[in-house]
Amino acid sequence: MSEPAGLSPRNTTRGRPRTTGTDVCARCRRSAGKARARWPEGKVCGPCFTVATRTHGACPDCAQHRLLPGPPHPEGGPRCAECADIPHDFRCSRCGNEGESYRRGTCARCALRDDLTAMLLADPADPVAIGRLVDVLCKAERPESIITWKRSPTVQTLLAAISTGNTPLTHEGLDDHIQTAGRAVDHLRALLVHHGLLPYRDPYLARFEIWIEDKLRPLAPEVARPVEHFAKWHHLKRIRSTATPDAPARGPVHSAKQEITETAKFLQWLWDTHERTAATCTQQDVDEWRADGPTTRKQIRTFFVFARNTRLNTSVEVGHYTARTRPTLAQDQRLAWLRELLTGGSESRPYRVAGILLLLYAQPLVRVAALRTDAISIDPATAQTAIAFGARPVPVPAPFAELLLDHLKARPNLRTGVAESPWLFPGTRAGHHLHPNSIMDRLRSLGIQLTGARNRALDDLVTQMPPPLVADALGYSYQVAFLHANAAAEPWARYADISRQR
Ligand SMILES: [Zn+2]
Ligand SMILES: [Zn+2]
Ligand SMILES: [Zn+2]
């Protein structure tokens, strides 16, 4: 090839340092400046050397699992140093792992451990805990990045405070440094949570706790007490037990705040107007409050369910109001949403598919999220796509079948270490499917009323098929299917209490 060097396609590659000099790297054929190493194939440039000293695997010649610094090989890939005749010992003099030597014959990981030991373990307040912290920092995928990170003065101050015990190794301890070392704190917290040294703490949940305290402060004690019980025992406890990295508490915290706010407004009004409390509140008080004012006032319902369950007040019944306004989506709205989700644009494909399953088949999101790929089948004779939610598969109509099959072929999050995920909606964590709350949040943020959409879909289905068939096909109990048959046919009664599960 007599291509002028300056026009070679390799030289147009971005992101690699250009070096000037007369040496040419035997691997990449670029001018190597000062060659990093001289190996049997010739001079090797810095970038190629770095790649070579980070490539591990089974050597195709000797079958040992070790560093493979050898040159690219047409058969089976690169070889280990011995099989490739590279006369260099890549072993760390401390731990024996093969790689690039970072400092005087030791690898970056061992160099990092030396530094951290000198910095944190000279006179630690709690040697066991600080020892674990050092272990966690040394586990970093790229120890070089922690070496750089810990050079920053803010990081050194933070780590020193932890070592001396002035800052306890807890979320609250780290919170004290947010003002002065925000990003360093975030990074350290993420590492500690990832390695199990601190429990997962949802960021929305942490702010929610502060919000509750702020909310209670201006309230009269007679009002504050029940609101506090409701906020902490009902909402906080429930959200704490369900928030995970895959299902952040954003949505649940949002609706909890609304219910707490409405409850506080009502109880403050009740105290100011009638000098009655949550315990002495009457049915008439609730009716009066809800007779006028905005529709958000209906959100005191959950509080009275809580009050009943905790025996704080068993005489007030808010349920039947909700029943009268059982949410359903108008049919034209449902069709508009189906069209929107089918033609796309507003959301990424997995969420569009999930939304359509809800709108077409009235599937609860808990079940949508947990669908397996084998729920989908194609009839070899008719080429009809079908999906199974219950005992028998139901047909998938044409425009949606195409979208569903496209999604099936190119599901996201397949790079999390599991080659063949069994889930139709694989989550970001290996082996898990998407959390229903994530789907719920995304669909809600589009403005789809989930309960209304599902009720509408189920009502329509039972007008097309006898309820027991619907129940079989869609995995509902007969009781629920018959209730929907009633709802579609006649005025609704007390539905909401039964269908509150999502
Ligand atoms: Zn090179
Ligand atoms: Zn080998
Ligand atoms: Zn080492």
* Whether residue 282 is found in the same domain as residue 249: yes
Q: What is the pTM of this model?
A: 0.47
* Whether residue 357 is found in the same domain as residue 459: yes
> What is the distance between the alpha carbons of residues 56 and 79, in angstroms, rounded to a whole number?
10
Residue 167 vs residues 157, 187, 372: alpha-carbon distances, Å: 11, 16, 46
Coil, strand or helix at 280: coil
* Amino acid residing at 284: Q
Q: For the chain, how many residues are written?
A: 502
How remote is the CA of residue 66 from the centroid of ligand 2, in Å? 8
Task: For residue 413, name the pLDDT band (cuts at 50, 70, 90).
Answer: low
Which pLDDT value is given to residue 484?
62
Q: Answer whether residue 95 is part of any domain.
A: no
Question: How does DSSP assign 438-485, residue by residue?
Answer: HHHHHHHHHT--HHHHHHHHHHHHHHHS-HHHHHHHHT--HHHHHHHH
What is the arithmetic mean of pLDDT over 103-111?
Answer: 93
How remote is the CA of residue 32 from the centroid of ligand 1, in Å? 7
* Whether residue 165 is found in the same domain as residue 223: no
How remote is the CA of residue 99 from the centroid of ligand 3, in Å? 9
Which pLDDT value is given to residue 500?
35
Ligand nearest to the CA of 94: 3
* Whether residue 341 is found in the same domain as residue 390: yes
* Amino acid residing at 445: S
How remote is the CA of residue 79 from the centroid of ligand 2, in Å? 5
How remote is the CA of residue 103 from the centroid of ligand 3, in Å? 10
* Whether residue 438 is found in the same domain as residue 491: yes
Q: Answer whether residue 232 is part of any domain.
A: yes
What's phi and psi for 171, nearest 5 deg? -60, -45
pLDDT of 490 above 60? no
Ligand nearest to the CA of 31: 1
Q: Answer whether residue 69 is part of any domain.
A: no
What is the arithmetic mean of pLDDT over 95-108?
Answer: 92
> What is the distance between the alpha carbons of residues 150 and 181, in angstroms, rounded to a whole number?
12
Per DSSP, 103 falls in state B
Strand pairing partners for 387? 376, 394
What is the arithmetic mean of pLDDT over 248-258?
Answer: 87
> What is the distance between the alpha carbons of residues 83 and 61, in angstroms, rounded to a whole number?
7
> What is the distance between the alpha carbons of residues 62 and 74, in angstroms, rounded to a whole number?
17
* Whether residue 252 is found in the same domain as residue 298: yes
Nearest to 287 by CA among 310, 266, 256, 262: 266
* Whether residue 251 is found in the same domain as residue 267: yes
What is the arithmetic mean of pLDDT over 312-323?
Answer: 70
Ligand nearest to the CA of 100: 3
- Cβ neighbours around 93 below 10 Å, total: 12
Q: Answer whether residue 346 is part of any domain.
A: yes
Question: How does DSSP assign 3-59, residue by residue?
Answer: --GGG-GGGG-SSS----SSEE-TTT-SEEES-SEEETTEEE-HHHHHHHTT-EEE-
Pick from 30-44, 78-92, 176-190, 450-464: least confident? 450-464
| Residue whose entry in the numeric block shows the structure tokens 């959950």 | 302
Higher pLDDT, 222 or 489: 222
Which pLDDT value is given to residue 488?
55
How remote is the CA of residue 81 from the centroid of ligand 2, in Å? 7
How remote is the CA of residue 27 from the centroid of ligand 2, in Å? 19
* Whether residue 249 is found in the same domain as residue 286: yes
Q: How far apart are the first and last CA of the chain?
A: 66
**Are the C-beta atoms of residues 311 and 277 closer than 8 Å to each other?**
no
* Whether residue 365 is found in the same domain as residue 467: yes
> What is the distance between the alpha carbons of residues 50 and 41, in angstroms, rounded to a whole number?
16
Ligand nearest to the CA of 64: 2
How remote is the CA of residue 72 from the centroid of ligand 1, in Å? 12
Tokens of 422: 């069994």
How remote is the CA of residue 28 from the centroid of ligand 1, in Å? 4
Higher pLDDT, 493 or 449: 449
How remote is the CA of residue 38 from the centroid of ligand 2, in Å? 19
* Whether residue 145 is found in the same domain as residue 271: no
Give the total number of structural domains in the chain.
Answer: 4
Q: Answer whether residue 100 is part of any domain.
A: no
Question: How does DSSP assign 362-426, residue by residue?
Answer: ---HHHHHT-BGGGEEE-TTT--EEE-SSSS-EE--HHHHHHHHHHHHT-SSTTSS-SS--BSSB
As a three-state string, the secondary structure of 111-177 is HHHHHHHHHHCCCCCCHHHHHHHHHHHHCCCCHHHHHHHCCCHHHHHHHHHHHHCCCCCCHHHHHCC
Q: Answer whether residue 27 is part of any domain.
A: yes
How remote is the CA of residue 109 from the centroid of ligand 2, in Å? 24
Which pLDDT value is given to residue 34?
82
Ligand nearest to the CA of 39: 1
Q: Answer whether residue 59 is part of any domain.
A: no
> What is the distance between the alpha carbons of residues 416 and 433, in angstroms, rounded to a whole number?
11
Question: How does DSSP assign 225-279, residue by residue?
Answer: HHHHHIIIIIIIHHHHHH-BTTB-SHHHHHHHHHHHHHHHHHHHHHHHHH---TT
Indicate the residue among 324, 356, 390 that finishes a domain: 324
Q: Answer whether residue 427 is part of any domain.
A: no
How remote is the CA of residue 32 from the centroid of ligand 3, in Å? 28
How remote is the CA of residue 60 from the centroid of ligand 2, in Å? 7
How remote is the CA of residue 417 from the centroid of ligand 3, in Å? 26
- The residues placing their C-beta within 5 Å of ligand 3, an ion, are 92, 94-95, 107, 110
Full domain range(s) for residue 188 = 108-194
How remote is the CA of residue 36 from the centroid of ligand 1, in Å? 9
* Whether residue 157 is found in the same domain as residue 215: no
Strand pairing partners for 31? 24
Ligand nearest to the CA of 113: 3
Question: How does DSSP assign 74-98, residue by residue?
Answer: TTTSPPPTTTTT-----B-TTT--B
pLDDT of 229 above 60? yes
How remote is the CA of residue 142 from the centroid of ligand 3, in Å? 13
Indicate the residue among 275, 293, 324 that finishes a domain: 324
Report the range out of 177-181, 201-205, 213-217, 427-431 with the highest average pLDDT.
Answer: 213-217
How remote is the CA of residue 258 from the centroid of ligand 1, in Å? 60
What's phi and psi for 471, nearest 5 deg? -60, -45
Task: For residue 496, name the pLDDT band (cuts at 50, 70, 90).
Answer: very low
How remote is the CA of residue 63 from the centroid of ligand 1, in Å? 26
* Whether residue 183 is found in the same domain as residue 273: no
Indicate the residue among 136, 170, 194 that finishes a domain: 194
How remote is the CA of residue 70 from the centroid of ligand 2, in Å? 9
Residue 410 vs residues 143, 383, 403, 418: alpha-carbon distances, Å: 34, 20, 11, 14
Residue 386: give its domain's CATH number.
1.10.443
How remote is the CA of residue 172 from the centroid of ligand 3, in Å? 34
How remote is the CA of residue 81 from the centroid of ligand 3, in Å? 18
Which pLDDT value is given to residue 408?
86
Ligand nearest to the CA of 35: 1
How remote is the CA of residue 187 from the centroid of ligand 3, in Å? 24
How remote is the CA of residue 97 from the centroid of ligand 1, in Å? 24
